[in-house]
């Protein structure tokens, strides 16, 4: 029988069920790419950008967000905010950003 994934790891019991304890996700900096941002740092994402960017923004000590469009305060419906501004330290607006996969295919190089 294959060893259990939680074998040799600390566990704790909550409501009668055992849970494996893992260390938290931690980063000094997160560079995230968002669709919309406001001056308060609230962010929304498109498509797959919503998979890991919100998680990394909350895990990092400092978060810098590249937004496609910076809107006025109140320009984002509060129900649409995925990452609250409390997790964002800086915003950079880049309209019509190049997609990374296109740059990779073109073998783009930085100086």
The pLDDT tens digits for 16-55 are 998 888 888 889 999 999 999 999 999 999 988 899 999 9
Confidence tier at 57 by pLDDT (50, 70, 90): very high
Tokens (6 digits) for 105: 């295919």
The pLDDT tens digits for 60-71 are 999 999 999 999
Spatial distance between the Cα atoms of 111 and 109, rounded to a whole number of angstroms: 6
pLDDT of residue 40: 95
Q: Is pLDDT above 90 for 88? A: yes
What's the Cα-to-Cα distance from 75 to each of 3, 27, 35, 56, 79, rounded to whole Å?
Answer: 52, 30, 13, 24, 12
What average pLDDT does the structure give for the chain? 88
């Amino acid at each position: 029988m294959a060893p259990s994934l939680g074998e040799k790891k600390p566990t704790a019991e909550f409501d009668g069920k055992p849970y494996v304890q893992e260390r938290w996700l931690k980063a000094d900096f997160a560079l995230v790419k968002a669709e919309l941002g406001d001056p308060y740092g609230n962010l929304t994402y498109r498509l797959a950008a919503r998979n890991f960017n919100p998680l990394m923004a909350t895990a990092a000590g400092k978060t810098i967000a590249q937004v496609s469009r910076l809107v006025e305060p109140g320009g984002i419906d509060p129900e649409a905010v995925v990452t609250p501004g409390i997790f964002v330290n800086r915003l950079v607006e880049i309209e019509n950003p190049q997609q990374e996969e296109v740059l990779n295919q073109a073998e783009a190089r930085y100086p």
